[in-house]
Every structure is written in C-alpha cells, then in structure tokens.
Structure 1
Amino acid sequence: MKEMRFGIDIDGTVTCPTSLIPFINEDFSLNITLDDIKTYDLSEALDIPMERFRDWFDEREPVIYSSSPLAEGAKDVLLKWKEKFQLFFISARRSHLLEVTEKWFDEQDILYDRIELIGSHDKVGAAKEYAVDLFFEDKHDNAVSIHEELNIPVLLFNTPYNQDPVPDGVIRVDNWAQAEKWVEAWLHSKKRIHQLD
C-alpha cells in the first residue's frame, strides 16, 4: 500500500495553462497571450458573451484536450511519484470526455490510479471521497475551498488568472520542479514529527 494519495487537477496544472490560447486566437481572431487572462472566467476575461463562448468550448473541448501540451516538468515528477504515491486526477471536465482524457494520458505515458471527471469545479466532494492528503490545482477558489474544507495543503500553480490572496495552507508554486521540492520538504517534516511521536 502506498503511503500517500495526491489529488491532482488536469487542465492548467498537468497540462500547460496556455493550451486554449491558440484555439481562442484562431477561432475568435484574437492575438492574446496567457498574460492577458487575468480571471479564470474566459468569457469575462476576453469580453465574449458567455453563451457564445460556452457553445464554442463545448464544440472544441475534445480537440483542445486531445492536443494539450504537458506542463513543463510534469511528466518527470509524476512518473517518480507514481512509484511512491497514489495519483488521483480530479477534473472539472465532464464525464463524456473520459475516453479523450484517458487516451491523452496514455499517449503522454502518464500513469494514474484514477481519473475522475466530475463536471463541476466543486472538487471538495471528490477530494474527500478519495481521502487525498494533498491537492494540486490552478483555480484559486478551488484551492482555497479544498484547503479550508479538508484541512490539507494545496499547491496552487501560479498563473496570471489566480493572483488573489491565499491562506497559509495554499502554497504557490511556479512549476513542477518547485512542487516536487515542496513535497519532499513536507514529507520530510511529517516523517520527523512521526518519529517524535
């Protein structure tokens, strides 16, 4: 039995947060970069009517997900962790996209214990159900609510759209190398506390 369970968001965390940008630029005749997106709600960030953006996203989602590049450093870290921890990928993607998602994971050669597509941004229930010890996220309010409801650390991957203040148990990291370093220090401190008990 592996010692720890990690809950990990997919989009903007395992995948590169710029994944949607080329599609948005092409389909809406824009020329934006990630730095232009200051809020998680893309229809608001881009001043595109919500209904129009939702219809577009519903149509383009499978193509975007199947071609999303990996976040830099994610694969190396996740491959190492798969040997020591249980990896539960918990995403707001809807369940009909499970086949596309599993195929992408297979093509990227990323192993997992479970992929859970909950169709909602409220990940607290799934994180609780799978009793994860630590969570990795890019959406600010998700990170805060998971930390506050479950009293577990959440690593928030820094992006221009998640810059609101965070409580102490939400730890900002810039990349997977920093995440790995933080996890090593966290595990070391937990081990020391356990030895003192």
Structure 2
Amino acid sequence: MKNLNICIDIDGTITNPYFWLDIANKYFNKNITIDEVTEYEIDKVMGITREEYNDFYSKNKLEMHNEQISLRENAKETIEELIKLNNIYFVTARDEDLKIITYSYLKKKNIPYDDVFVLGTSYKVEMAKKLKCDVFIEDSYANALQLSESGFKVLLIDTNYNRKPLNKNIIKVYSWNEIHETIKEMQVNEKAL
C-alpha cells in the first residue's frame, strides 16, 4: 500500500508558470515582463477585459498547452521519486477538450502518474475529497485557499502571482526539491502517529 495520495496541478505547478506570457504579449501587442505578473488572472495582468481574454484563450489554448512548454526544474525527477511510495493524481482546471493534449504532454515528458483529472473548472475541492488527498501541490493562491479552508494540506509553489498571506494548511515551497523534502517529512510524521 502506498503512503500518501498526492494531487498535483499542472499549469504553473509542474510547468513554467509564465509559459503563456510570450503568446499573450504577441497577441495583445504588449511587453509585460515576468516581474509584472503579480496576478494569477491573465486578463488582469494584460489589462484587458475577461471577454478579450476568453477570445484569446479559445484561439490559443492548444499552443499554450502544447508539448513544447517546459517543465519546472526537477519536477519530473521529484514525481518519479514520489510515485514509488505514493499515489500521484494530476488534477487540472484545464478545459475538458484539452484532455488528449494533457495526456500527450505527460507522456511526451515521461511523467509518471496514477491518474489524471481534467476538470474544466478551477474548483478542485470535490475531486480532492474523492481522491482522499493528503497533500495538494498548487500554484494558484485562490485554489490553495479554497483547498486549505476545506481541510487539505497545500504546498504552494512560489510564483510572482501568489505571494500573499498563508494560513496554517498552506506551506510555501520554492522548488520541486523542497517539495520532495517536505513530503518526505510528512511521511515520517505520518508514520510516527
């Protein structure tokens, strides 16, 4: 039997969190830098309406989630280690029509997992409950708050857009190596109980 049920977001969590910036800058004829990405919502970063963002996303989502998007440093290696002792579930808010491209991306990058859930919504609490999630790895501050307020432990991987106050169920982490160390500590503490 495996130790922990680990839920992991994809975009911005295992991938480069600013993967969309060049595409959005080109599309909107802007020159926003990574340092200026202090909000999670792309429409707020770009200074556009939500409708303009929705139009942009529908035209560019395949490019924004393709196999060329780079992984965060040590994400793959950490997940390869974690799956040896834990269940790994990818839980993403991606649109449901991105299911095939999501599976293709994980296969192309050789990232192991037990299952993938493409929700089509940013509300992840019900899926976390269903999976009996022990820890959720996330980059969205709003998602981290929602999950933590529902009783889930969250590892919030640092980005420019999620540097906000944390609660007792959220641990800020700065790399996938730190994620690995934090989960190893959780496993030791779990066994001590």
Residue 101 (structure 2) pairs with residue 109 (structure 1): no
1:159-174, aligned counterparts within 5 Å?
A: 159-174=159-174
Q: Distance in 2 between matches of 1:190 and 1:60?
A: 43
| Matches of 1:25 and 1:47, distance apart in 2 | 11
For 1:91 and 1:33, how far apart are their aligned partners in 2? 25
Q: Is the 8 A contact 2:88 2:113 kept in 1?
A: yes
Q: 1:68 matched to which residue of 2?
A: 69
Q: Quote the residue 1:79 is aligned against.
A: 80
Q: TM-score, normalised by structure 2?
A: 0.95
**What secondary structure does 2:116 align onto?**
strand
Q: Which runs of 5+ in 1 are unaligned?
A: none
CA–CA separation in structure 2 for the residues paired with 1:17 and 1:33: 13
The one-letter code matched in structure 2 to 1:178 is E
Deviation at 1:33, TM superposition (A): 2.3
Counterparts of 1:30-69 in structure 2, within 5 Å, are 30-66=30-66, 67-69=68-70
What is the CA distance between 1:137 and its match in structure 2? 0.5
Q: Stretches of 4+ moved more than 3 A in 1?
A: none
Letter in 2 for 1:91: T
Q: Deviations over 1:116-161 (max 9, x none)?
A: 0111111001111111111000111211111121x23100011111
Matches within 5 A, 1:125-164: 125-149=126-150, 151-164=151-164
Equivalent-residue separation in structure 2 for 1:185 and 1:130 (angstroms): 21
Calculate percent identity across the aligned residue pairs: 29
Question: Is the 1:17–1:34 Cα contact (8 Å) retained in structure 2?
Answer: no
Q: Which has the higher helix share?
A: 1
Q: Secondary structure at the match of 2:104?
A: helix
AA at the equivalent of 2:174: D
CA deviation string 1:59-90 (max 9, x = no partner) = 11111111321111101101111221111100
Query: How big is the alpha-carbon RMSD for the aligned residues of Structure 1 and Structure 2?
Result: 1.1
Provide the secondary structure at the position in 2 that maps to 1:162.
Answer: coil
